Amino acid sequence: MKLKYKGLIILLFSFFFVSHSYSQTETARDSVLQFASKYLKVPYKRGGSTPKAFDCSGFTSFVYRSFGYNLYRTADGQIKNVHTIVCKSGVKPGDLVFFKGRNASQNRIGHVGIVYDIDEDGSFRFIHASVKYGVTVTSASKIYYNTRFVAAGRILEERPLPPEPLPIKQIKIQTKELLLP
């Protein structure tokens, strides 16, 4: 009887660790998106980077900073933070997506968001700070964004994130350490 019991414990123990390590990145993606979703409907403000008001890059940098990632403050700067550039059809939830700004004829990144979910046909929605709607979820298939899409980039690699956002004090300490030479 004891032998069966030990076997069951070992089986459960190994199942937990195999499934846990397999899904760490997925769990990190879910955590980032759940955290970002808390700020839906927060108004847009140019230069905003706090829960009172965000601009697009202020929102993405706030979300990722809360999980220990320090992103550049501008949309065109944040593409330098990605580990991997991915094609539009290869995006995963949590990836950053980059678009041209209001002037689509300029070859400059002017907007950034976070991939929120992906439909069966491969189209995706992203969460971002919109001038008109504040923090919102929008389909990348909308003509405005579809014609302005530039690139997508992966921040979340296979390294695990904390399952919850870091406490504010810890975020400030990490930021100060990174800014010092």
Q: What is the DSSP string of 102-114?
A: S-TTS-SEEEEEE
pTM listed for this prediction: 0.75
Separation of alpha carbons 54 and 22, rounded Å: 34
Q: Are 58 and 155 in contact (CB under 8 A)?
A: no
Separation of alpha carbons 108 and 91, rounded Å: 21
Reading the block at residue 42, the tokens are 């927060």
Report whether pLDDT(162) > 80. no
Q: Which domains does the chain have, with CATH numbers?
A: 23-157 (3.90.1720.10)
- β-pairing, 96-100 with 149-154? antiparallel
Q: What is the pLDDT of residue 102?
A: 84
- pLDDT tens per residue, range 18-59: 333 335 667 889 999 999 999 999 999 999 999 999 999 999
Reading the block at residue 21, the tokens are 């390590």
Residue type, 135: V
% of the chain with per-residue pLDDT over 90: 65
DSSP, res 173 = H
Q: What is the pLDDT of residue 167?
A: 58
% of the chain with per-residue pLDDT over 70: 73
* Number of continuous H segments (helices) and E segments (strands) in the chain: 6, 8
The structure tokens 């919850």 sit at: 164
